[in-house]
Chains A and B, each alone.
Chain A
Amino acid sequence: MRFIIRLDKIRIILTISILLIASIMSAVWAKPVLATYENSEEIIGSRYMDHMKQENREPEANLPFLFAVYTITWAGFFAYIFMLSRRQRDINLEIEYLKSKHTEIESKSQSNE
Chain B
Amino acid sequence: MIPDIEFRSYGRWTRYFQDFVLVGSAIFMILTMYMVFLWVPTESNLGVSQRIFYFHVPLAWIGMVSIIIVSVSSAIHLITGREKWDHLAYAGAEVGVVFFTLLLATGVMWSKPVWGVWWTWDAKLTTTLILWFIYVSYIMLRAYGPKGSQGARYGAIIALIGAIDMPIIYMATVWWRTAHPEMNIGPLAESDSLDSRMQITLLISLISFTFLYVYVLIQRFYLRRSEGEVDEIYYKIG
A residues bordering B, Cβ < 8 Å?
A: 4, 7, 11, 14-15, 18, 21-22, 25-26, 29-30, 32-34, 36-37, 42-52, 54-59, 61-63, 65-66, 68-70, 72-73, 76-77, 80-81, 84, 87-88, 91, 94-95, 98-99, 101-102, 105
B171 contacts A by Cβ under 8 Å: no
With A62-B49, A63-B48, A98-B233: A52-B115 Cβ-Cβ less than 8 Å: yes
Q: Which of B53, B98, B116, B230 contacts A95 (CB 8 A)?
A: B230
* List of A residues within 8 angstroms of B37 by Cβ: 26, 29-30, 32-33
The 4 A-B pairs at the shortest CB distance, nearest first, are namely A29-B37, A45-B44, A62-B49, A18-B26
Contact A102 B5 (CB under 8 A): yes
The smallest beta-carbon distance between B118 and chain A, in angstroms, is 11
Q: Which of A18, A51, A68 contacts B29 (CB 8 A)?
A: A18
B143 contacts A by Cβ under 8 Å: no
Nearest opposing residue in chain A for B225, CB measure? A91
Beyond A29-B38, A30-B37, A63-B48, 11 extra complex contacts between A and B, CB < 8 Å: A11-B18, A11-B22, A37-B48, A46-B194, A46-B198, A48-B194, A51-B181, A65-B110, A69-B109, A73-B55, A95-B230
* List of A residues within 8 angstroms of B220 by Cβ: 84
With A73-B102, A101-B2: A62-B48 Cβ-Cβ less than 8 Å: yes
Contact B98 A43 (CB under 8 A): no
The smallest beta-carbon distance between A111 and chain B, in angstroms, is 16
Contact B44 A98 (CB under 8 A): no
Please, could you name 24 A-B residue pairs with CB atoms under 8 Å apart, sorted by A? A4-B9, A11-B19, A14-B22, A18-B22, A21-B30, A29-B37, A29-B38, A33-B37, A33-B51, A34-B48, A44-B41, A45-B44, A46-B195, A46-B198, A48-B43, A48-B184, A49-B50, A50-B45, A51-B181, A52-B181, A65-B109, A84-B220, A91-B226, A102-B5
B residues bordering A, Cβ < 8 Å?
A: 1-2, 5, 7, 9, 15, 18-19, 22, 25-26, 29-30, 33-34, 36-38, 41-53, 55-56, 59, 98, 101-102, 105-106, 109-110, 112-116, 179, 181, 184, 190, 193-195, 198, 212, 215-216, 219-220, 223, 226-227, 230, 233
Nearest opposing residue in chain B for A22, CB measure? B29
Contact A37 B38 (CB under 8 A): no
Contact B193 A43 (CB under 8 A): no
The smallest beta-carbon distance between A9 and chain B, in angstroms, is 13
Nearest opposing residue in chain B for A56, CB measure? B113
Contact A52 B106 (CB under 8 A): no
* List of A residues within 8 angstroms of B109 by Cβ: 65, 68-69, 72
In angstroms, Cα B105 to Cα A50, docked, is: 23
With A22-B30, A49-B46: A105-B2 Cβ-Cβ less than 8 Å: yes
